[in-house]
Amino acid sequence: EVQLVESGGGLVQPGRSMKLSCAASGFTFNNYDMAWVCQAPKKGLEWVATISYDGSSTYYRDSVKGRFTISRDNAKSTLYLQMDSLRSEDTATYYCARHRGVGCFDYWGQGVMVTVSS
């Protein structure tokens, strides 16, 4: 059974950093591109970043470029999102998701809440 379990969320002050983790199991992690998708409170879904299966390529939405870094440790089957210079508008639930080929996300984690507030 495919499982994606996020951790690392919580309350953080504007301008500070936070690192999210996503532990994967039930599939061969290093065969799949992975992504982070976020959802602000009571809002819709927004793609954040994607990393290729081997970590050689990364892609970001413009609003997080230069502030967020997606990475992975295939030996640990874990995906990460390093979030720096956090802003109030980054407040959201962050989902880890597995890419099924190009684009679509076939499995999602349960999500982790990040609240940026002083």
Partner 1 sequence: DVVLTQTPVSLSVTLGDQASISCRSSQSLEYSDGYTYLEWYLQKPGQSPQLLIYGVSNRFSGVPDRFIGSGSGTDFTLKISRVEPEDLGVYYCFQATHDPLTFGSGTKLEIK
Q: Summarize as ranges the residues that interact with partner 1 (CB under 8 A).
A: 37, 44-47, 50, 59, 61-62, 95, 100, 102-106, 108-111
Closest by alpha carbon to 21, among 6, 4, 3? Answer: 6
Task: Name which of 75 and 102 has its Cβ closer to partner 1.
Answer: 102
Bridge partners, residue 112, by sequence: 94
| Shortest spacing between CB 68 and partner 1, in angstroms | 13
What's the length of the chain?
118
| Shortest spacing between CB 1 and partner 1, in angstroms | 13
Task: Provide the pairing of β-strand 58-60 with 92-99.
Answer: unpaired
The helix or strand, by DSSP H or E, that contains position 96, with its residue range, turns out to be: strand 92-99
Task: Name which of 72 and 99 has its Cβ closer to partner 1.
Answer: 99
| Shortest spacing between CB 90 and partner 1, in angstroms | 16
Task: Name which of 19 and 100 has its Cβ closer to partner 1.
Answer: 100
| Shortest spacing between CB 94 and partner 1, in angstroms | 11
Q: How far from chain centre, in Å, is Cα 82?
A: 9
Closest by alpha carbon to 86, among 38, 21, 17? Answer: 17
